[in-house]
Structure formats: C-alpha cells, structure tokens
Amino acid sequence: MTKPALPLPERDVSQTLQKIFILLRDRTGNDFSLYKENTIQRRLERRMNVHQIENLKSYLRFVQGNPSELDALFQELLIGVTSFFRDPQAFELLEQKVLPALVEGKQEGATLRLWVAGCSTGEEAYSLAILLVEYLAQKHLRLTVQIFASDLDSRAIDQARTGLYPVGIAGDLTPARLQRFFTKEDGNYRVKKEIRDLVVFATHNLLTDAPFTKLDLLSCRNLLIYLDAPAQRKILPLFHYALKPNGILFLGSSETIGDCDHLFMTIDRKWKLFKRTAEPGTYPNLERFPCGLMKGTPATHAAAEAPLFPARPASISTLIQQLLVARFAPASVVVNGRGEVVYVHGQTGAYLQPAPGPPTHHLLEMAREGLQHDLATALHQVEQKGTDILRRDVRVKANGHFILVNVSVKKIAEPEALQGLILVTFETVQEEKKPAARKGAPVRGAEPQTQRGARLMQELEFTKQRLQRTVEELQTSNEELKSTNEELQSTNEELQSTNEELETAKEEMQSLNEELVTVNAELQGKLDDLSDANDDLQNLLNSTEIATIFLDNELRIKRFTLEAKRVSSLIAVDVGRPLSDIVSKLTYGRLLEDAQAVLQTLVVKEQEVQAADGSWFLMRILPYRTAKNTIDGLVLTFLDITKNKQAEQAVQVSRSLASSIVEAMREPLLVLDEQLRVVSANQSFYRTFRVQPREVEQQLLYHLCNGAWNLPALRHLLEEVLPQDRSFQDFSLDQIFPQIGRKVLALNGRRLEQEVSQPGRILLAMEEVKVEE
C-alpha cells in the first residue's frame, strides 16, 4: 500500500519558493518574493496540477530541467482581471466629486496627468479616458489629457495598445458609450483613435522602476492585494511622491493606505479614494526595496521592514539649512504635523534633552522642564489656526537653574517641498540668579518675606505636584488609549489582510471562471463538431446499407448500424454485451473464432456468408485503429451481395445451357479471344480434326493443325472485319489438315455480345462442304 506524500515543512517550502523566485528573476527579470505567499502557492499548485506534480520540490526540479515552464508560470502569476468601468459607483463618484476638484483652477490648455498602475489589458485606462472626455465636453473645458498606463505583462500591454476587445464588453458599457467611443471590427470592438491617443502604454515594474511624477490622479486598483505588507508600505510613499499636492489616489475596494494616513486623507472610505496631504514628498530609497535589489542575494525581512523616515532628511536637509541660514535663526528644530523632529539646527541642549525610555523624535517628550506646556499650546494653535505664535519669558530649568526663553513657532510656507512643516525657534533672554545676602546686615522685613516666599513655594510645589499627577494620569490614559488603538489597528490590519486575501481569491476565481467559460465554449464547439461528425457518420453508414458492428478488445458490442439487425438479433440495450451472447442470423458458424483470430493476428478476414433467409453477405473483419495507431477492437461489415449471387447463378446457368447447346451441335465450333487464342472448342471439333484439348485450348488459331489455319484471307477477316463488329459467312476454306487430309469447310464468324467489363469473344463455326470428285 502506497503511503500518501507528506507535506513539506514550512521552512522547506519557504526555501523552495525562494529558489523558484530566483529562477523566475533570472528568466524574466522580475522578482516575486514580495508577493503574498498564499497567492503564489495557489498559482503554483495550478501549474503543478497541470503537470501532475505532487510536491514543490519536484516542481522545482521540473522547472530547472524545463526553463520554458518558467514563462508559463510567469503568465500564471500575472492575474489580469479587469473590465470597463469596473465598480460603476466608484466611477460615478469620480465624475461627481473628484474631477471637479482636479480641473478647478486649471487654465485653458493646462495638462491633466493620470497614471494607471497595473493596467492589465487597458480597460481601466480607457475607462478613465472616456470619463474625462465626457466631462470636459460637458463643461466646455479645453485641457490636455495625458494618461500613462503601465503593467508588468508585456503581452497585456501589446493587447492594450491595439484597443481591440471582444463583443462581451457590451455588457460593461452603455449603448451610448459603445456607439460613441468604439467601432466594430470582425465581430470585435475597437477603441476609437481619439481615445487611444490619450493613453500611453508601457511595460513597467512598480517595485523597481522609477514612477511617473507630477500626477493629478493615480489609479492602482486591486494590485496591492497581491503584495505583502512591507511592499505596500514602500509603494504608498512612492505614490505620495508621484502625486501633486492634493492629487488623488484611487485604490481597489479591498485596499487601504494602512499606516500611511499622514500621507493621504480619505475622500471616500467605501470606494477607496484618497487625497495627497501637504506632507513633503521625498523619493523613496528604492535600493531598500527587496524587489529593487539587483540580481543578487534575496532580500531579508529586516531590510523589508526598515523604517522610511531616516531616509527623508537626506533629501530636505539642504533646503531646511538654507532656510534657517537665510533667516539668521538661533537654535531651532523643524517638526512635522505630529510633532516629530525632522531637523535640528544649532545648540538645543539647553531646551531639549533625550527623554527616558526608548529613543523618540517627539518634540514634547524631549522638551525640558517648564517648556512642555507652552510648547504644546503653541504647536496646537499653529496647527489649528495657522498663525505664528511667540511665547516670551518662558521659565525653563536647565542645568539646575532657570533661564528665560522666548519660543517662536511658525508654519513653513515656502519652499513648496517644505510646506506643512513647523519651525520652532528657541532664544535665551537671561538667566535667573539668586541674590547674595550680606553677612551681619539685618534686613528689615526679611523674615516675613522669607516666610511668604516659602509659602508661595509650597503652594507652587503643591500645584506642580497636582499638575504632575494630572499629567501622569493623562499620560497613563493616553498610553492605555494608544495600546487600545494599537490593538484595534492590529485587528484592523488582520481584517484588512483577510479582506485582501478574499479579494485576491475572488479575482483568482473570476480569472479561473473566465478561463472555464472560454474552455467550456471551446468544449461546446468541439461537442457540436463531434455531434455533427457523429450525425454525418451515422447517415453515411445508414446510406451505404452496409451492416456494421463495432467491437472492443473484449469482443463486446460498442455500436452497430440498423442494417446489422439483418445478420444478428441486435437491439439498443445490447451495447456492452459480448458478441457471443448475441443470436446470429447467419448459417456461418465460425464468426466468433474469426473475430478472435483477427484480433490476435491483425490480418483482415473476408468471407461470403449466407443468412437463414437466403440472403448472401460479404463479411469483412478488420482491426479498429485509433488516431494514435493503436488497436481498440474490431469492425465487422456485412455487404449484401444477394443480387450479385443471383446474377452469378443466372450466368452460371446460362453458361451451362450454352455449353450444353454447343456440345450438342454436330458442327465444329471454336471460341476465340481478342488475340485469336482458342478459349474453348466443342467435341465435334476435337473429333473432326482428331486433336486433343491440350493441343487446342489457349493456342493461337494460326498454330493449330501445323498452321493449316494460317491463311491471309482468314486473317483479314478475323483481324480487321470482326473488330468492327462485322460478321462473315460462308468463307470457303480448302486445306489439307494433318491426320485427316483435305477438307473443304464453310466458315461463319461472329463477334459475341459482351458487357463492357468482359473480354471480347469471337465464335467461329465451320461446316464441311462435300466436294464432287
């Protein structure tokens, strides 16, 4: 008993997948290591099922020995599910809310730039082009439209460029759009040139190639669901960089921006429309993409999960430094909208210090004692109102004593790359010094003033303690809320991952369904052809009126014609029964033995057999050969030759009668063929000329009786007159014959009437003439 194959351990599966990814990368130049493993495995299982391979390691060995399989696997991994105006409600929202905002404020002749990433065969790109043309015509606007559409699949891009689609797209388009933007060609629909000219198609790898930039709208629908979380976290900042400020990001219904909410604002949560924030865009360091590595070692998870923010100052530090130098700024820091430090300028140690615990970039947590409250209030007011805030004489404790500091908080408006950041400036006014008391010099009223100061200090300390407790309680609550938020976010990510998996499975099922519909249509066509061929064959067999029986290798009935009922007692339910169980109507008793012999020797058997009703059949038993030249049974045919038999019998009777008549005649007779050879002679000829049949039959007439019949006149009659269907009578022949002497004969010759297919015959009759002496 064979044991079922055990599944590979998870570590072995991961290692095998990495080897397959390397082979794919070397073959196609594309790395699939950042695609979701579950999706990859499902697509691999489909290829394994095609080749009937049981486990992943066997499939790895198969692709190593068959590099062409990598091309088929590459196409299998590219799931191209798309349609015109997919999710119509989302496109309605685009038309009603997004397009007006995009074209608002644009001057006549300005350019509207869009990018459709992962466009597959181009339906979505053309849908956006149609939507824009309709909207601009409706609003009487003249704008230049540029739509870039890219995909990893070069075959899909080539198809998209042609703009030719099957008639099935009529279900996705309104009749008005179909008539206005499409032309019908050979049973297909082609996008009109005015729409095709708006779209530029290109083969593009989103994970490795540089993006299109300065975009008003970026559509990337149902592509992120195939990528794992690290890849999504890398791509979304790339989208942010590619879009203009307030540009629109259009994702699939099951995709989200994840933890990149600082980069995008939600326009519509259901249909996943987002607006780019004013957060400065920086070009992501693509070298840190695992997929962006050159063909070398596979990327590690540590590289995939490296934080993005440390790479940002490298691209904006020069701008910030130029800004601060231009303003002669003292010690300053630049923070983003969440209060995280982006850049530090000058000596800030008197105002900021590292907070206890894990390292942090948050400004408020780094602020020294006395600065947190005023700084938090100022940042909040600047973020809400957008106006500059100046806090004077803020008491800050630094190095054991207090200093007075002016704090300035301003929102950066220029340059454009720094918009959204906040500049915080610190300027020390003076240091507070304790007054030195003179020795021995009494101070009037000093004691009461000292007591009052102590009381105020106690009250202040009490207030500070209460405030500290309040702050701690608030921090505790904030940490609890943060923990809860993290748990909810984790749950949301899990649900999002599950949703993406379901969406991926849905698209795969849709792709599979489309393939099944295509295969079903092909099979239906083949079934129709097979049915037509079967009908033609059945009518052909019936029209020949030849009884035919098909047997398998076990001599069981597979099929028979209606005429077969004349030779055996066959009915419809006999299909599958052995031939030996069928009652035969033939008097021939060796049918089964002959069938077995032909099946063993493959030599065709022919035999004339007779039925019980007197009918005659020409039975032929021959092997049944398939298209692969294999023997799959026998074919028995029975050709009705009853009329032929009757005709043969009639001919035989006629020949017997004619032979009897000829033999009964007293005059010598000869029957000659067209070469004048003797076919037959009657007994009277043998007696008259005293010769034997062996001396006469099949001999030339001119050689008989030692050439006595070789006369020129006779030759003329036989060779020239008779071929023209003429006869002759009373030809006188006076000749000396061996053994009998002189004979005078009167010869009569006639060409016998024969069928065209029969050889010609000449009847030569002779009568002896009495000669008076």
Tens-digit pLDDT profile for residues 295-349: 333 333 333 333 333 334 445 666 666 666 655 568 889 998 888 888 888 888 8
Note the pLDDT tens digit of each residue in 238-254: 999 889 888 999 998 88
Place of tokens 């004619």: 658
Which one of 128-142, 260-274, 503-517 scores highest in mean pLDDT?
128-142
Q: How far, in Å, CA of 357 to CA of 230, rounded?
A: 27
Distance CA 164, CA 697 (A): 84
Q: Which residue has the tokens 């049981």?
A: 54
Strand order in the sheet with 341-345: 341-345, 332-335, 422-431, 401-411, 389-398
- Please answer whether residues 370 and 432 qualify as being in contact, where contact means their C-beta atoms are separated by less than 8 angstroms: no
Mean pLDDT of the region 451-455: 64
User: Residue holding tokens 């009777």?
Assistant: 653
Q: Which of 152-161, 377-386, 451-460 has the highest mean pLDDT?
A: 152-161
* Most confident of the ranges 29-33, 226-230, 757-761: 226-230
58 is written with which tokens? 């066997």
The model's pTM: 0.47
Per-residue pLDDT tens digits for 66-119: 888 888 888 777 777 788 998 899 999 999 989 998 888 888 889 899 999 989
Would you tell me the crossing angle of helices 10-28 and 37-50 to the nearest 10 degrees? Answer: 80
- Between CA 710 and CA 716, with CA 712 as vertex, the angle to 5 degrees is 110
Burial class (CB in 10 A: 0-12, 13-18, 19+), 508: middle
Q: What is the pLDDT of residue 393?
A: 83
Is residue 48's pLDDT more than 60?
A: yes
User: What is the pLDDT, as a whole number, of residue 201?
Assistant: 92
Which of 255, 222, 226 is CA-nearest to residue 83? 222
